[in-house]
Amino acid sequence: MVGRFTSPHFMYRWDCININNKPVEKALFKETETEIRTVATIVENELQKSGRSAEKVTNFEILTATAFTLFDKAKCDVAIIECGLGGKLDATNALPDEAIACSIITSISLDHVDMLGGSIDSIIEQKLGIVRRDVPVVVAQSQDLETLRKIFAVLEKQQHKFCPADNEMLLTESSHIGTRAVLEDLLPHQLGNLATAHLATTLSVNSGLERLPAVTLASHVDQLESLPDVLEDAANSYPGRLQLLRPQWSERTLGDKYPTLINLPLLLDGAHNEDSAKVLRAYVSTRMPRDKPAVWILAFSAGKDISLILRVLIKPKDRVIFTRFGIYGPVDGMSWVRSAALDDLQNYAGEADCGESVIAYTNDLRGALQVCEAEFAKDKRWQDLPNVVIAGSLYLVSDFLRLTAEGSDSLKD
């Protein structure tokens, strides 16, 4: 049994907790969360007795404890745990040393600076807080060389065992012709992610997973021939990450509202910082109809460096529809998350010199889709804009997928 805990949740609060690649059932999640909240109340009462009444158990701490408890109930053999924010002070870092088979340091960039610090050095300190003594560390190479040097220097100073994920080595080891062709067709960040996951799995098996008889990963680690299936599973398991919807993407539920838009491919991506924006822009430029402008439906969380992201994403002749996420109310369990105001988005567009590309500001996603549908229906020039992208926030993508799921039994909560 393999558990996976990622954050934030996507459509519903329990979909961030997966067992064998399936979200836990709502009823089981609610039951377990209630158990954890009961314990949290006891903890807060004890803190109050000791004069620490200002300290409260956070929603993310409750969610993390719920995930760990669900993995224990399911008797998971292995779990992949993603830190919520940073690492050093993150709730997920409460796991004991003996429970950790491998630590992974993925791309580090200036994000969440209000909580992690305003420099790469301070963010590196927070991220490397998950590293444990005598536990192997895998470092993704999908970051600039100066950042990599700083990461390596800290790990060397602290005498940790670490290994950079090598994209070229993955290609070299892939002797199977079909597999190599699949790998060579990946974008650089996709190959880097795969190399990181492959190395982390290998080191995990070598460092301790072999003591778990139920684990069958060891027999698959070197079988790179299975990677095409792995990649397909990954594409289906992580909605909102370069998720390309083919024409007729929601004919049954939205076809009558958006009859023109429904016949176009639609790309969904939660890109919300400079690095992820670069990845998204590269995908649009190389994998969607080339030399064609794009229509962007964008919303962002307040506090992001939005003008910087816009400079990366928006090219001449692109069209932009700004909107706000939250058509289903505040983000469940994350009341501090707010969608950037439309007035602020207008200012950011001016700072990014893309104000002339903006055709509308709408209060929610429904309005944005209506504007997009109307423009495609009435203006033949829009037929030269085949790339429609919904991006800027996973919460906006979540709004879209929940909207398309209305009336679909398979996706209802």
Residues 202, 56 share a domain: yes
Q: Return the amino acid letter for 337.
A: V
Residue 411 covered by a domain: no
Q: In what order do the strands lie in the sheet with 78-81?
A: 22-23, 17-19, 2-5, 78-81
Residue 353 covered by a domain: yes
Contact (Cβ atoms closer than 8 angstroms) between residue 323 and residue 297: yes
User: Can you tell me the distance from the alpha carbon of 298 to that of 396, in angstroms, rounded to the nearest whole number?
Assistant: 8
Residues 366, 229 share a domain: no
Which letter does DSSP use for residue 246 in this model? P
Q: What is residue 273's predicted lDDT score, i.e. its pLDDT?
A: 87
Angle between helices 394-405 and 365-378 (to 10 degrees): 80
Q: What is residue 188's predicted lDDT score, i.e. its pLDDT?
A: 80
Residues 94, 228 share a domain: yes
Residue 412 covered by a domain: no
CB atoms within 10 A of CB 117: 16
Instruction: Kindly report, residue by residue over 39-65, the tens digit of the pLDDT.
Output: 999 999 998 888 887 778 999 999 999
Distance of CA 146 to the CA centre of its chain: 24
Contact (Cβ atoms closer than 8 angstroms) between residue 194 and residue 227: yes
Residue 259 covered by a domain: yes
Phi/psi of residue 121, each to 5°? -60, -45
User: Can you tell me the distance from the alpha carbon of 26 to that of 208, in angstroms, rounded to the nearest whole number?
Assistant: 33
What domain range includes position 136?
Answer: 2-237
Q: What is residue 319's predicted lDDT score, i.e. its pLDDT?
A: 93
Residues 272, 199 share a domain: no
User: Can you tell me the distance from the alpha carbon of 219 to that of 209, in angstroms, rounded to the nearest whole number?
Assistant: 12
Residue 324 burial class via C-beta count within 10 angstroms: exposed 0-12, middle 13-18, buried 19 and up: buried
User: Can you tell me the distance from the alpha carbon of 386 to that of 382, in angstroms, rounded to the nearest whole number?
Assistant: 8
Q: What is the DSSP string of 276-343?
A: HHHHHHHHHHHHSSTT--EEEEE--BTTS-HHHHHHHH--TT-EEEE----TTSSPTT-TT--BPPHH
What pairs with residue 267 in β-bridges? 244, 389
Q: What is residue 314's predicted lDDT score, i.e. its pLDDT?
A: 96
Structure tokens at 137: 């560390």
Residue 359 covered by a domain: yes
Structure tokens at 390: 């919904």
Residue 129 burial class via C-beta count within 10 angstroms: exposed 0-12, middle 13-18, buried 19 and up: middle
Contact (Cβ atoms closer than 8 angstroms) between residue 413 and residue 405: no
Using alpha carbons, list the distances in angstroms from residue 202 to 78, 172, 184, 197: 14, 16, 21, 9
Q: What is residue 396's predicted lDDT score, i.e. its pLDDT?
A: 96
Closest by CA to 365, choosing from 332, 336, 390, 340, is: 390
Residues 232, 176 share a domain: yes
Residues 343, 287 share a domain: yes
- Of 237, 267, 291, which residue constitutes the final position of a domain? 237
Residues 265, 233 share a domain: no
Q: Return the amino acid letter for 198.
A: H
Q: What is residue 213's predicted lDDT score, i.e. its pLDDT?
A: 40
- Of 237, 261, 279, which residue constitutes the final position of a domain? 237
Segments of the chain with pLDDT less than 50: 177, 210-224, 407-413
Measured between alpha carbons, how far apart are the two ends of the chain, in Å?
A: 24
Residues 252, 351 share a domain: yes
Residue 410 covered by a domain: no
Residue 141 covered by a domain: yes
Residues 248, 136 share a domain: no
User: Can you tell me the distance from the alpha carbon of 209 to that of 280, in angstroms, rounded to the nearest whole number?
Assistant: 35
Our count of domains for the chain comes to: 2
Q: What is residue 214's predicted lDDT score, i.e. its pLDDT?
A: 39
Q: Return the amino acid letter for 133.
A: R
Domain with residue 350: its CATH number is 3.90.190.20
- Of 211, 237, 263, which residue constitutes the final position of a domain? 237
Residue 413 covered by a domain: no
Q: What Rg, from alpha-carbon coordinates, does the chain have? A: 22
Residues 322, 173 share a domain: no
The model's pTM is: 0.84
Contact (Cβ atoms closer than 8 angstroms) between residue 239 and residue 397: yes
Q: What is residue 222's predicted lDDT score, i.e. its pLDDT?
A: 46
User: Can you tell me the distance from the alpha carbon of 406 to that of 401, in angstroms, rounded to the nearest whole number?
Assistant: 9
Residues 100, 10 share a domain: yes
H helices, E strands: number in the chain: 15, 13
Q: What is residue 125's predicted lDDT score, i.e. its pLDDT?
A: 87
Domain with residue 154: its CATH number is 3.40.1190.10
Residues 184, 308 share a domain: no
